[in-house]
Amino acid sequence: MRELYKDLQPEILINREQLAARVAELGAQITKDYHGKELVLVGILKGAVIFLADLLREIDLPLTLDFVAISSYGSATKSSGVVRIMKDLDHDIVDKHVLVVEDIIDTGLTMSFLKNNLLSRGAASIRVCSLLDKPERRLVRLGSDYTGFTVPDAFVVGYGLDYGQRYRNLPEIGVLKSEIYAN
């Protein structure tokens, strides 16, 4: 990982132990909240896959798994709010309790689009579980029902989060040096 770490600011924002501990807490809370319900976890490709893979194993309930891939037009570091579904759910969600698992909520535009879209398909409930939240940059009123960590307004990578599709394989979350995305 040495090649990847040289693009990060030296202080790691969230390390492996912190990630594992928080993911376990979220899993326990979700297990409690969805007791007796039919839960469908919907992961947003690709950023949420590492988080989802860990979270899923901390949820002690029968559940099913599905994925959507969405692309938001905009630059690599800013979303535009114009969202397109590149890969839709494989199964219908009518009367199901859906928990959308996302890597980070930034402006909130992506999640707000997706939530409305899933609601219109007749789900019994839609909640959001986001590993990270950057509330300072929010443009729409949107909360995450389950949040791992609140982060400052900086571009973060690792544990699934990318910049230009890279850095997803970092085992912890760091802040990208600004010169990496300046040019």
Q: Which amino acid is at 122?
A: G
Q: Which amino acid is at 32?
A: K
CB of 40 to Mg ion, least distance (A): 19
Q: Is 133 in the site for ligand IMP (CB under 6 A)?
A: no
Q: Is 34 in the site for ligand IMP (CB under 6 A)?
A: no
Q: Is the sign of the CA dihedral 80, 82, 87, 93 positive or negative?
A: positive
Closer residue to ligand IMP in complex, CB, 54/106: 106
| 99 in Cβ contact with 67 (< 8 Å) | no
Q: Is 158 in the site for ligand IMP (CB under 6 A)?
A: no
Measured between alpha carbons, how far is 45 from 117 in angstroms, rounded to an integer? 16
Q: Which residues of 134-165 are buried (b: 16+ CB within 10 A; e: fewer)?
A: bbeebeeebebebbbbebeeebbbbbbbbbee
Q: Is 108 in the site for ligand IMP (CB under 6 A)?
A: yes
Closer residue to ligand IMP in complex, CB, 50/157: 157
Rule CB under 5 A: which residues touch Mg ion? Answer: 47
Q: Is 110 in the site for ligand IMP (CB under 6 A)?
A: yes
CB of 143 to ligand IMP, least distance (A): 12
At CA 109, angle to CA 104 and CA 113, rounded to 5?
A: 105
Q: Is 155 in the site for ligand IMP (CB under 6 A)?
A: yes
Q: Phi/psi at 83 (nearest 5 deg)?
A: -115, 140
Closer residue to ligand IMP in complex, CB, 59/161: 161
Q: Is 103 a catalytic residue?
A: no
Q: Is 104 in the site for ligand IMP (CB under 6 A)?
A: yes
Nearest to 5 by CA among 149, 154, 169: 169
Closer residue to ligand IMP in complex, CB, 40/112: 112
Q: Which does 107 bind (CB under 5 to 8 A by kind): ligand IMP, Mg ion, none?
A: ligand IMP
| Residues in touch with ligand IMP (CB under 6 A) | 47, 72, 79, 102-111, 155-157, 161
Residues with catalytic function: 106
